[in-house]
Amino acid sequence: MKVGIIGTGWIAEKAAITLNGLDNCEAYAVGSRQQETADAFAAKWNIPKAYGSYTELIADKDIDLVYIGTPHSHHYDVTRQAIMAGKPCLVEKAFMANATQAQDIIRLAHEKQVFLAEAIWTRYQPAVGIVRKLMADGRIGQPRMVTATLGYSMGNKPRIMRPDLCGGALLDLGVYALNFVRMFCDADIESIDGHCVKSDTGMDLTNAITIILKDGILANVQSSAQCVGDNIGVIAGTQGNIIIDNINNPQTITLNGPGRTFVETIHVPQQITGYEYQFLACRQALIDKLTEPREMPHTETLYVMQLMDELRRKWGVRYPMDN
Protein backbone atom coordinates (compact mmCIF):
# COMPACT_ATOMS: atom_id res chain seq x y z
CA MET A 1 0.00 0.00 0.00
CA LYS A 2 1.50 3.31 -1.12
CA VAL A 3 0.80 6.11 1.35
CA GLY A 4 0.92 9.81 0.60
CA ILE A 5 1.62 11.89 3.71
CA ILE A 6 0.07 15.36 3.88
CA GLY A 7 1.92 17.54 6.38
CA THR A 8 5.52 17.62 7.58
CA GLY A 9 5.21 18.12 11.34
CA TRP A 10 6.24 15.72 14.10
CA ILE A 11 3.16 13.52 13.66
CA ALA A 12 3.95 13.16 9.95
CA GLU A 13 7.48 12.17 10.93
CA LYS A 14 6.09 9.48 13.19
CA ALA A 15 4.00 8.20 10.29
CA ALA A 16 7.07 8.12 8.03
CA ILE A 17 9.12 6.21 10.63
CA THR A 18 6.29 3.71 10.99
CA LEU A 19 5.77 3.17 7.28
CA ASN A 20 9.51 2.75 6.72
CA GLY A 21 9.41 -0.11 9.23
CA LEU A 22 6.59 -2.01 7.49
CA ASP A 23 6.99 -4.52 4.67
CA ASN A 24 3.59 -4.13 3.02
CA CYS A 25 3.14 -0.36 3.39
CA GLU A 26 5.31 2.39 1.89
CA ALA A 27 5.84 6.07 2.59
CA TYR A 28 5.54 6.83 -1.10
CA ALA A 29 5.00 10.59 -1.22
CA VAL A 30 4.84 13.69 0.96
CA GLY A 31 2.95 16.90 0.35
CA SER A 32 3.58 20.33 1.86
CA ARG A 33 2.55 23.87 1.06
CA GLN A 34 6.17 24.60 0.13
CA GLN A 35 8.28 22.48 -2.23
CA GLU A 36 11.47 23.02 -0.20
CA THR A 37 9.81 21.68 2.95
CA ALA A 38 8.50 18.63 1.10
CA ASP A 39 11.91 17.99 -0.47
CA ALA A 40 13.66 18.15 2.92
CA PHE A 41 11.14 15.81 4.51
CA ALA A 42 11.38 13.34 1.62
CA ALA A 43 15.18 13.34 1.78
CA LYS A 44 15.21 12.81 5.56
CA TRP A 45 12.82 9.86 5.46
CA ASN A 46 13.76 8.34 2.09
CA ILE A 47 10.40 9.08 0.46
CA PRO A 48 10.39 8.77 -3.36
CA LYS A 49 8.09 11.67 -4.22
CA ALA A 50 7.76 15.20 -2.82
CA TYR A 51 5.02 17.65 -3.77
CA GLY A 52 4.85 21.39 -3.11
CA SER A 53 1.07 21.33 -2.75
CA TYR A 54 -1.58 19.05 -1.32
CA THR A 55 -3.42 19.12 -4.64
CA GLU A 56 -0.45 17.61 -6.50
CA LEU A 57 -0.16 14.77 -3.99
CA ILE A 58 -3.88 13.99 -4.14
CA ALA A 59 -3.64 13.86 -7.95
CA ASP A 60 -0.93 11.16 -7.88
CA LYS A 61 -2.71 8.10 -9.29
CA ASP A 62 -0.26 5.67 -7.65
CA ILE A 63 -1.17 6.65 -4.08
CA ASP A 64 -3.46 4.12 -2.38
CA LEU A 65 -4.07 6.02 0.88
CA VAL A 66 -3.75 9.67 1.84
CA TYR A 67 -2.64 10.21 5.45
CA ILE A 68 -3.63 13.67 6.65
CA GLY A 69 -1.32 14.84 9.41
CA THR A 70 -1.99 18.58 9.43
CA PRO A 71 -3.40 20.41 12.50
CA HIS A 72 -7.04 19.43 13.01
CA SER A 73 -8.11 22.96 12.05
CA HIS A 74 -7.00 22.15 8.49
CA HIS A 75 -8.43 18.63 8.15
CA TYR A 76 -11.77 19.52 6.58
CA ASP A 77 -10.67 21.17 3.34
CA VAL A 78 -7.92 18.73 2.42
CA THR A 79 -9.99 15.67 3.35
CA ARG A 80 -12.89 16.93 1.28
CA GLN A 81 -10.58 17.53 -1.68
CA ALA A 82 -9.12 14.02 -1.40
CA ILE A 83 -12.53 12.34 -1.14
CA MET A 84 -13.83 14.29 -4.12
CA ALA A 85 -10.83 12.92 -6.03
CA GLY A 86 -11.72 9.39 -4.93
CA LYS A 87 -8.70 8.98 -2.65
CA PRO A 88 -9.01 6.82 0.50
CA CYS A 89 -8.13 8.89 3.58
CA LEU A 90 -6.71 8.27 7.05
CA VAL A 91 -7.26 11.50 8.99
CA GLU A 92 -5.43 12.29 12.22
CA LYS A 93 -7.34 12.85 15.42
CA ALA A 94 -9.12 15.00 16.28
CA PHE A 95 -10.97 14.04 13.11
CA MET A 96 -12.37 17.51 12.40
CA ALA A 97 -12.86 20.83 14.18
CA ASN A 98 -16.42 19.97 15.16
CA ALA A 99 -19.23 17.48 14.60
CA THR A 100 -20.76 19.52 11.77
CA GLN A 101 -17.58 19.17 9.72
CA ALA A 102 -17.29 15.50 10.69
CA GLN A 103 -20.84 14.72 9.63
CA ASP A 104 -20.37 16.49 6.30
CA ILE A 105 -17.13 14.63 5.50
CA ILE A 106 -18.55 11.25 6.52
CA ARG A 107 -21.67 11.87 4.42
CA LEU A 108 -19.52 12.80 1.42
CA ALA A 109 -17.39 9.65 1.82
CA HIS A 110 -20.55 7.53 1.91
CA GLU A 111 -21.94 9.24 -1.19
CA LYS A 112 -18.69 8.78 -3.11
CA GLN A 113 -18.07 5.30 -1.67
CA VAL A 114 -14.55 6.32 -0.66
CA PHE A 115 -12.72 4.78 2.30
CA LEU A 116 -12.37 7.13 5.27
CA ALA A 117 -10.84 6.51 8.71
CA GLU A 118 -9.86 8.46 11.80
CA ALA A 119 -6.26 7.97 12.92
CA ILE A 120 -6.98 7.62 16.64
CA TRP A 121 -4.13 5.14 16.98
CA THR A 122 -5.12 3.70 20.36
CA ARG A 123 -8.30 2.24 18.82
CA TYR A 124 -6.25 -0.03 16.56
CA GLN A 125 -3.64 -1.31 19.04
CA PRO A 126 -3.46 -4.88 20.44
CA ALA A 127 -4.17 -3.61 23.97
CA VAL A 128 -7.81 -3.09 23.00
CA GLY A 129 -8.41 -6.78 22.33
CA ILE A 130 -6.45 -7.83 25.41
CA VAL A 131 -8.46 -5.63 27.77
CA ARG A 132 -11.78 -6.48 26.17
CA LYS A 133 -11.09 -10.21 26.59
CA LEU A 134 -10.18 -9.77 30.27
CA MET A 135 -13.47 -7.97 30.79
CA ALA A 136 -15.52 -10.43 28.72
CA ASP A 137 -14.01 -13.35 30.66
CA GLY A 138 -15.25 -11.79 33.89
CA ARG A 139 -11.77 -11.31 35.35
CA ILE A 140 -12.79 -8.11 37.18
CA GLY A 141 -16.45 -8.93 37.72
CA GLN A 142 -18.92 -6.21 36.75
CA PRO A 143 -17.20 -2.96 35.67
CA ARG A 144 -18.34 -0.03 37.80
CA MET A 145 -15.80 2.78 37.40
CA VAL A 146 -13.31 4.04 34.83
CA THR A 147 -10.59 6.62 35.46
CA ALA A 148 -8.06 7.98 33.00
CA THR A 149 -5.59 10.87 32.83
CA LEU A 150 -3.49 12.20 29.99
CA GLY A 151 -1.19 15.17 30.54
CA TYR A 152 1.79 16.73 28.80
CA SER A 153 3.56 19.99 29.61
CA MET A 154 3.25 21.66 26.21
CA GLY A 155 4.03 25.27 27.01
CA ASN A 156 2.55 27.90 24.71
CA LYS A 157 2.42 25.88 21.53
CA PRO A 158 0.28 27.64 18.92
CA ARG A 159 -1.80 24.51 18.26
CA ILE A 160 -2.82 24.57 21.94
CA MET A 161 -3.25 28.31 22.42
CA ARG A 162 -4.83 29.51 19.16
CA PRO A 163 -8.59 29.23 18.48
CA ASP A 164 -8.00 29.26 14.71
CA LEU A 165 -5.91 26.09 15.12
CA CYS A 166 -8.65 24.45 17.24
CA GLY A 167 -6.50 24.79 20.33
CA GLY A 168 -6.95 23.38 23.80
CA ALA A 169 -6.33 20.09 25.56
CA LEU A 170 -9.67 18.49 24.68
CA LEU A 171 -9.19 17.93 20.94
CA ASP A 172 -5.49 17.19 21.32
CA LEU A 173 -5.44 15.00 24.44
CA GLY A 174 -8.91 14.66 25.90
CA VAL A 175 -9.99 12.83 22.75
CA TYR A 176 -7.83 9.91 23.92
CA ALA A 177 -9.45 9.87 27.35
CA LEU A 178 -12.95 9.89 25.85
CA ASN A 179 -11.99 7.11 23.45
CA PHE A 180 -10.54 5.13 26.35
CA VAL A 181 -13.98 5.07 27.94
CA ARG A 182 -15.74 4.29 24.67
CA MET A 183 -13.36 1.45 23.77
CA PHE A 184 -14.27 -0.56 26.84
CA CYS A 185 -17.69 0.73 27.92
CA ASP A 186 -20.09 0.99 25.02
CA ALA A 187 -23.33 1.64 26.90
CA ASP A 188 -25.23 4.79 26.02
CA ILE A 189 -24.20 7.90 27.92
CA GLU A 190 -26.79 9.16 30.38
CA SER A 191 -24.96 12.39 31.20
CA ILE A 192 -21.66 14.12 30.58
CA ASP A 193 -20.32 17.20 32.32
CA GLY A 194 -17.00 18.77 33.13
CA HIS A 195 -14.91 21.76 34.02
CA CYS A 196 -11.83 23.34 32.56
CA VAL A 197 -9.13 25.92 33.18
CA LYS A 198 -8.80 28.23 30.19
CA SER A 199 -5.97 30.22 28.67
CA ASP A 200 -6.09 33.96 28.05
CA THR A 201 -7.03 33.03 24.48
CA GLY A 202 -10.09 31.10 25.67
CA MET A 203 -8.76 27.58 25.05
CA ASP A 204 -9.11 24.77 27.61
CA LEU A 205 -5.69 23.95 29.07
CA THR A 206 -6.73 21.42 31.72
CA ASN A 207 -10.07 19.69 31.93
CA ALA A 208 -11.96 17.15 34.02
CA ILE A 209 -14.92 15.23 32.64
CA THR A 210 -17.48 13.04 34.40
CA ILE A 211 -19.54 10.56 32.39
CA ILE A 212 -22.40 8.42 33.69
CA LEU A 213 -23.40 5.48 31.49
CA LYS A 214 -26.85 3.96 31.42
CA ASP A 215 -25.51 0.62 32.68
CA GLY A 216 -24.34 2.27 35.92
CA ILE A 217 -20.66 2.79 35.09
CA LEU A 218 -19.16 6.13 36.10
CA ALA A 219 -16.09 7.49 34.34
CA ASN A 220 -13.84 10.32 35.48
CA VAL A 221 -11.26 11.44 32.93
CA GLN A 222 -8.85 14.36 32.79
CA SER A 223 -6.52 15.84 30.22
CA SER A 224 -4.03 18.67 30.42
CA ALA A 225 -1.61 20.52 28.17
CA GLN A 226 -0.02 22.11 31.24
CA CYS A 227 1.47 19.26 33.25
CA VAL A 228 3.11 15.85 33.18
CA GLY A 229 0.32 13.39 33.91
CA ASP A 230 0.60 9.79 35.01
CA ASN A 231 -1.35 8.86 31.84
CA ILE A 232 -2.77 5.78 33.56
CA GLY A 233 -6.16 4.26 32.85
CA VAL A 234 -8.04 2.06 35.33
CA ILE A 235 -11.14 -0.07 34.81
CA ALA A 236 -12.47 -1.07 38.23
CA GLY A 237 -14.94 -3.90 38.73
CA THR A 238 -16.65 -5.73 41.56
CA GLN A 239 -13.94 -8.42 41.64
CA GLY A 240 -10.78 -6.59 40.61
CA ASN A 241 -9.30 -3.98 38.30
CA ILE A 242 -7.31 -3.55 35.13
CA ILE A 243 -4.54 -0.93 35.06
CA ILE A 244 -3.29 0.32 31.68
CA ASP A 245 0.11 2.00 32.03
CA ASN A 246 -0.43 4.63 29.31
CA ILE A 247 -3.77 5.35 27.67
CA ASN A 248 -1.91 7.09 24.84
CA ASN A 249 0.20 4.04 23.91
CA PRO A 250 -0.34 1.05 26.23
CA GLN A 251 2.66 -1.16 26.87
CA THR A 252 1.58 -3.10 29.95
CA ILE A 253 -1.79 -4.22 31.26
CA THR A 254 -1.95 -5.25 34.90
CA LEU A 255 -4.76 -7.38 36.28
CA ASN A 256 -5.55 -7.29 40.00
CA GLY A 257 -8.10 -9.44 41.79
CA PRO A 258 -10.19 -8.95 44.95
CA GLY A 259 -8.46 -6.77 47.53
CA ARG A 260 -6.16 -5.42 44.76
CA THR A 261 -4.16 -8.66 44.86
CA PHE A 262 -1.81 -8.88 41.88
CA VAL A 263 -2.76 -11.51 39.32
CA GLU A 264 -0.66 -10.86 36.20
CA THR A 265 0.95 -8.27 33.96
CA ILE A 266 0.50 -8.60 30.21
CA HIS A 267 2.96 -6.95 27.84
CA VAL A 268 1.78 -5.88 24.40
CA PRO A 269 3.76 -7.08 21.34
CA GLN A 270 6.90 -5.17 20.43
CA GLN A 271 6.04 -2.28 18.13
CA ILE A 272 7.63 0.11 15.66
CA THR A 273 5.88 3.19 17.03
CA GLY A 274 2.35 1.92 17.68
CA TYR A 275 1.10 3.72 14.57
CA GLU A 276 1.56 0.62 12.44
CA TYR A 277 -1.74 -0.90 13.51
CA GLN A 278 -3.83 1.88 12.01
CA PHE A 279 -2.02 1.65 8.69
CA LEU A 280 -2.36 -2.12 8.64
CA ALA A 281 -6.06 -1.83 9.50
CA CYS A 282 -6.55 0.57 6.59
CA ARG A 283 -4.69 -1.76 4.25
CA GLN A 284 -6.88 -4.69 5.23
CA ALA A 285 -10.05 -2.61 4.94
CA LEU A 286 -9.08 -1.54 1.42
CA ILE A 287 -8.36 -5.16 0.46
CA ASP A 288 -11.80 -6.07 1.80
CA LYS A 289 -13.34 -3.16 -0.14
CA LEU A 290 -14.71 -1.48 2.99
CA THR A 291 -15.41 2.24 3.31
CA GLU A 292 -14.50 2.41 7.02
CA PRO A 293 -12.22 0.46 9.37
CA ARG A 294 -13.70 -2.20 11.61
CA GLU A 295 -11.75 -0.82 14.57
CA MET A 296 -13.11 2.74 14.37
CA PRO A 297 -16.42 2.99 12.52
CA HIS A 298 -17.73 6.34 11.39
CA THR A 299 -20.52 6.26 13.98
CA GLU A 300 -17.92 6.27 16.76
CA THR A 301 -15.85 9.03 15.18
CA LEU A 302 -18.96 11.21 14.89
CA TYR A 303 -20.18 10.35 18.40
CA VAL A 304 -16.90 11.40 20.02
CA MET A 305 -16.89 14.64 18.00
CA GLN A 306 -20.43 15.32 19.26
CA LEU A 307 -19.33 14.73 22.87
CA MET A 308 -16.46 17.19 22.45
CA ASP A 309 -18.78 19.76 20.90
CA GLU A 310 -21.11 19.44 23.90
CA LEU A 311 -18.25 19.88 26.36
CA ARG A 312 -16.88 22.91 24.52
CA ARG A 313 -20.34 24.50 24.54
CA LYS A 314 -20.54 24.03 28.30
CA TRP A 315 -17.08 25.55 28.75
CA GLY A 316 -17.47 28.40 26.27
CA VAL A 317 -14.54 27.20 24.16
CA ARG A 318 -15.18 28.26 20.57
CA TYR A 319 -13.38 28.04 17.24
CA PRO A 320 -13.94 30.20 14.14
CA MET A 321 -15.30 27.06 12.38
CA ASP A 322 -18.16 26.86 14.89
CA ASN A 323 -19.85 29.94 13.41
Same domain, 136 and 249: yes
Amino acid 260 reads R
Same domain, 140 and 250: yes
pLDDT tens for 86-139 read: 999 999 999 999 999 999 999 999 999 999 999 999 999 999 999 999 999 999
Residue 323 pLDDT class (50, 70, 90 cuts):
confident
* Cβ–Cβ < 8 Å for 157, 203: no
Pick from 155, 266, 169: nearest CA to 221:
169
Percent of the chain with pLDDT over 70: 100
Same domain, 105 and 144: no
Q: Is residue 310 part of a domain?
A: no
Pick from 137, 128, 135, 138: nearest CA to 179:
128
Q: Is residue 318 part of a domain?
A: no
Pick from 15, 45, 16, 42: nearest CA to 31:
42
Percent of the chain with pLDDT over 90: 99
pLDDT tens for 265-313 read: 999 999 999 999 999 999 999 999 999 999 999 999 999 999 999 999 9
Q: How many CB atoms lie within 10 A of CB 230?
A: 12
Same domain, 264 and 174: yes
Q: How many CB atoms lie within 10 A of CB 192?
A: 17
Q: Which residues contact 267 (CB under 8 A, 6 or more apart)?
A: 251, 252
The CATH number of the domain holding residue 191 is 3.30.360.10
The residue segments making up the domain with residue 284 are: 2-117+276-295
Residue 234 pLDDT class (50, 70, 90 cuts):
very high
- pLDDT of 5 > 90? The answer is yes
pLDDT of residue 23: 96
Same domain, 266 and 282: no
Same domain, 131 and 52: no
**Structural domain count, the chain:** 2
Same domain, 135 and 266: yes
Q: Is residue 308 part of a domain?
A: no
Same domain, 212 and 283: no
Cα 240 to Cα 18, 224, 254, 255: the distances in Å are: 36, 28, 11, 7
The CATH number of the domain holding residue 291 is 3.40.50.720
Handedness of CA 271, 280, 67, 244 (dihedral sign): negative
What pTM does this model have? 0.97
Q: Is residue 319 part of a domain?
A: no
pLDDT of residue 205: 98
Give the pLDDT mean for 77-93. 98
Half-sphere exposure of 182 toward its Cβ, with a 13 Å CA cutoff? Answer: 22
pLDDT tens for 133-166 read: 999 999 999 999 999 999 999 999 999 999 999 9
Q: Is residue 304 part of a domain?
A: no
pLDDT tens for 174-223 read: 999 999 999 999 999 999 999 999 999 999 999 999 999 999 999 999 99
